């Protein structure tokens, strides 16, 4: 009886996607007082890359700083640009200190920022 080989999996047990992203996408910036997360998706919502201040090596109260948000945005943007994305619409949510610096970092990383919308619930 022949055994079937399983596809290569990452440490988490899921298959790693190596597809090309579309040229346009959405950058979701969630800035809280304690952390800033950036998720870059395609127009249909499929996640291309993400980054957070905690993932970038910051701990404790330093995660809530504008510099930590900048580093997290650069990491997420670099991964998305490598997959072929060129322009983003930025959706900002939350009152944190990293709001503006994350948007500036996305532009500086090479994205063409098409629009910036504040979607913070009131």
- Per-residue pLDDT tens for 1-36? 565 555 555 555 454 555 676 789 999 999 999 999
Token pair belonging to 38 = 């950036």
| CB neighbours of residue 7 within 10 Å | 6
Does residue 11 form part of some domain? no
What is the predicted pLDDT for the residue at 22?
A: 77
Does residue 41 form part of some domain? yes
Name the residue range of residue 38's domain. 24-118
38-95: per-residue pLDDT in tens? 999 999 999 999 999 999 999 999 999 999 999 999 999 999 999 999 999 999 999 9
CATH number at residue 92: 3.30.420.80
Report how many domains make up the chain.
Answer: 1
What is the predicted pLDDT for the residue at 15?
A: 46
């Amino acid at each position: 009886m022949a055994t079937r080989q399983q596809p290569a999996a990452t440490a988490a047990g899921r298959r790693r996607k190596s597809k090309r992203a579309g040229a346009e996408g959405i950058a979701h910036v969630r800035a809280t007082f304690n952390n800033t997360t950036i998720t870059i998706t395609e127009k249909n919502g499929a996640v291309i890359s993400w980054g957070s201040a905690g993932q970038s090596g910051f701990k404790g109260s330093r995660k809530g700083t504008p510099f930590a948000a900048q580093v997290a945005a650069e990491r997420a943007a670099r991964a998305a640009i490598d997959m072929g994305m060129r322009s983003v619409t930025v959706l900002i949510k939350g009152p944190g200190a990293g709001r503006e610096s994350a948007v500036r970092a996305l532009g500086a990383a090479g994205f063409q920022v098409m629009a910036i919308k504040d979607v913070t619930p009131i």
